[in-house]
């Protein structure tokens, strides 16, 4: 059985290790199907707060939380939707292909709770994590299982990158784009920096960000190329000092050592007819 149990002070976590070899592997928590570790050549690339709460209820502060069916505040249910706080099913893998790359797949289907919350909708989300020698791919697919009737959703992979020094990390591919500045009453602005550095509270939704993003000076001094398919938008988030202090599950100084660059379909909802499938993916490639 690939699921291993790990007991925190509050709960027993069910974890699946997606291991290519000892130095290249990922760990997925069935709570939220949250990828909470990706090690590339022995270096942890993903940030998880030292104060993260592992109680199988709260969303994990760090890793790659899966946001579905709503990004942000949601009138029908919890912020960022229910996917990141639901228990997922491990449906296949980890299995190795002829290149030595290893994949595992996780599934979330509607339940009585989600139907009550979300207009009775029936759905299946499939999430596949693949560890390659120089990259991590996360494939995300939603199927509308309603007999009739479409549904609308937004979705996003809320990736927390571990960075040694936030002042030296840059993100390319945003210059000239319109973005919603959630730190300034949701005003729509235009990005003038390329590449962008973060030097204060940042919560920006870049609309139709179709280019790859080169992210420099991440863990181990490495550079990552974030490539995406069908995730039309990119969110950049860092809580900075004041917000960090206000979050109980985040260390006061940790904002200096993380940056969220998030691939999503969030600036407009995706409308999915009954029986249809939405497919998107993200690859984090080490350059």
In whole angstroms, what is the distance from residue 287 CA to residue 285 CA?
Answer: 6
Q: Exactly one of 80, 90, 191, 262 is catalytic; which is it?
A: 262
Do the Cβ atoms of 131 and 26 come closer than 8 Å? yes
Pairing of strands 202-206, 233-238: antiparallel
Greatest CA separation for the chain: 51
pLDDT number for residue 261? 98
Question: Can you say how many angstroms the Cα of residue 148 is from the centroid of all Cα atoms in its chain?
Answer: 30
User: Among this protein's residues, is 262 annotated catalytic?
Assistant: yes
Q: Pick the catalytic residue: 80, 158, 213, 265? A: 158
**Cβ contact 45:222 at 8 Å:** yes
- Give the separation between CA 80 and CA 78, rounded to whole angstroms: 6
Query: What is the model's pLDDT at position 228?
Result: 97
CA atoms of 89 and 109, how far apart (whole Å)? 9
Q: Among all chains, which residue has been given the structure tokens 């959630």? A: 182
Which two tokens mark 40? 């590339």
Helix (H), strand (E), coil (C) string for 106-168: EEEECCHHHHHHCCCCCEEEEEEEEECCCEEEEEEEEEECCCCCCEEEEEEECCEEECCCHHH
Tokens found for residue 42: 């022995």
Phi/psi of residue 41, nearest 5 degrees: 50, 45
Full-prediction pTM beyond 0.85?
yes
Distance CA 55, CA 195 (A): 38
Residue-level pLDDT, tens digit, the chain, 287 residues: 788 898 877 889 999 999 999 999 999 999 999 999 999 999 999 999 999 999 999 999 999 999 999 999 999 999 999 999 999 999 999 999 999 999 999 999 999 999 999 999 999 999 999 999 999 999 999 999 999 999 999 999 999 999 999 999 999 999 999 999 999 999 999 999 999 999 999 999 999 999 999 999 999 999 999 999 999 999 999 999 999 999 999 999 999 999 999 999 999 999 999 999 999 999 999 99
Helix (H) or strand (E) holding 263: strand 258-272
What pLDDT sits at residue 1?
A: 78
Residue 31 is a catalytic residue? no
The total of other beta-carbon atoms located within 10 Å of residue 42's CB is 9
Q: Kindly report the number of other CB atoms within 10 A of residue 80's CB atom.
A: 22
How far apart, in Å, are the Cα atoms of 250 and each of 49, 122, 129, 235, 246? 6, 35, 26, 19, 8
Q: Tokens for 126?
A: 């499939």
- Tell me if residue 242 falls in helix, strand or coil: helix
């Amino acid at each position: 059985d690939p699921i291993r149990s790990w007991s925190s002070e509050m709960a027993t976590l069910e974890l699946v290790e997606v291991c290519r070899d000892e130095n290249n592997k990922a760990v997925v928590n069935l709570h939220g199907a949250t990828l909470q570790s990706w090690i590339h050549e022995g270096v942890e690339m993903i940030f998880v707060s030292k104060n993260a709460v592992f109680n199988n209820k709260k969303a994990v502060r760090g890793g790659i939380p899966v946001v579905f069916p709503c990004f942000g505040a949601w009138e029908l249910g919890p912020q960022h939707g229910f996917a990141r706080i639901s228990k997922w099913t491990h449906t296949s893998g980890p299995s190795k292909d002829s290149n030595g790359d290893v994949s595992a797949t996780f599934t979330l289907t509607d339940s009585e709770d989600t139907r009550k919350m979300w207009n009775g909708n029936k759905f299946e989300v499939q999430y596949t994590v693949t560890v390659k020698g120089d990259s991590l791919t996360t494939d995300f697919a939603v199927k509308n299982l309603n007999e009739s009737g479409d549904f609308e959703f937004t979705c996003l992979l809320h990736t927390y990158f571990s960075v040694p020094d936030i002042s030296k990390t840059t993100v390319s591919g945003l210059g000239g784009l319109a973005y919603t500045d959630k730190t300034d009453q949701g005003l729509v602005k235009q990005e003038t920096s390329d590449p962008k550095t973060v030097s204060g509270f940042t919560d920006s939704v870049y609309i139709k960000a179709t280019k790859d993003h080169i992210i420099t000076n991440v863990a181990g001094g490495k550079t990552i190329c974030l490539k995406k398919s069908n995730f039309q938008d990119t969110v950049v988030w860092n809580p900075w000092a004041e917000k960090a202090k206000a979050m109980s599950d985040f260390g006061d100084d940790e904002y200096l050592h993380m940056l969220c660059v998030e691939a999503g379909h969030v600036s407009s909802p995706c409308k999915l007819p009954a029986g249809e499938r939405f497919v998107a993916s993200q690859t984090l490639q080490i350059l």
